[in-house]
Each structure stands twice: as structure tokens, then as C-alpha cells.
Structure 1
Amino acid sequence: MTRQIELAGKSGAVYRYTSIEEERFLPPAGANYVIAEVTPEGPHIVYAGETDNLASQTWRSDLEKAREQYKNAKVLTRLNVTRAVREAEREDLIEQYHPPLNQ
């Protein structure tokens, strides 16, 4: 069963992210992603990004960089086709969580 995690942005909007299996086929769709260490207390978001094509795995280099400092980092995704929606959501999450790798 795929685990879903709800993240609230600075605006109060709530976004539902899903953890992914890194080796599994991913859809060629636009998506937001966060890289986080997920603990029983909740996720510690270290990076928030977006991509036009989740299957292209452009997020992988961000994950490798994150794992240099956060060895248990995982990728969580949320499909969003529209670029404007993805960018607004990404900014909303950055304003709320201040991920250290987005600085």
C-alpha cells in the first residue's frame, strides 16, 4: 500500500503527497515533489521541486544531493499537470517549511 502524507502550505492549503518506489515506472506527467526524511513525528522537508515529466527522473539528482546530508531522504510526489499550479504549490510549501536545500 502506498503511503500518503498531507502537507499544509503557508496559505493553509493542504496537499496530499505519495511516497514512491524509486525503481518503479513513473507516469510521464507534470508533478511536484518533495524530498523529506519521514519520521513518526512527520516529514522533515529538505527540498521542494517540480517537473514537467516525472518519468524523466530529473528529481533524482536532487535526491542524491539531499542524501549527502540526509541519508534517509525519500521522494514524495503529487501529480499536477499545469505549470502555474505546480509553481504556486511549490512556493507555498517553501514558504511554510523553509527547506534547507531550497535556500
Structure 2
Amino acid sequence: MTQFNPVDHPHRRYNPLTGQWILVSPHRAKRPWQGAQETPAKQVLPAHDPDCFLCAGNVRVTGDKNPDYTGTYVFTNDFAALMSDTPDAPESNDPLMRCQSRARYQPGDLLFTGSQ
């Protein structure tokens, strides 16, 4: 198994001021950004975008090819907040920097309906 790295793996960090644990998911910052702010174009857009990672028949950011779906299709979330294969974090006795890698689960699904 891979060695735990707090820059790459989801984990919980302890806040000694509040006594609470918070979730940190640094790997989500690596997902591609497609949310640029643009002025809407006054043109007819195609029904299929060849650069869309979720459109039917296109290649996903992971390299997998989407099926040629025509209705609602359920995708596995490529950038889920938690990962099922997170390695164990090393134990620390530091009262200010406490970290746990117990934040694991089976990644959920993302629902994309496309244009119909």
C-alpha cells in the first residue's frame, strides 16, 4: 500500500482550540477546472461537446471512455472528497498537529443527466 501523504490523501485534523475534528481533502484541488467565468455567446451550441468529460462517448479525465448513453447515466465521482484506499497516517503525540487518515468510504456517485 502507498505511504500516507497529507498533501495527497484525505484525513481528519484536530483543532485544539475548538476540540473538533475537521475533514481535509487535498486531492480534490487536483481536479480539472472547467468553471471559467465567460460572457454568454449568442450562438446555437451543439448538442454534444467533444471537450466535456461527462458527455456520451467522450474520454473522462481518468482515461476511461463514457458509454454512448442517451438518457440519465450514473457516474462514479472521479474526485470524491474521501478515498477508499487512503493509507494509514503515522501516529503523532504532538498536541497541536494531530492527524487521522480514518476518513475513508466507498466513493459515491455523481448523477449527470445531460441535455435531453
Same-fold status (TM-score > 0.5): no
Query: TM-score scaled by structure 1?
Result: 0.24
More helix by share: 1
Query: TM-score scaled by structure 2?
Result: 0.22
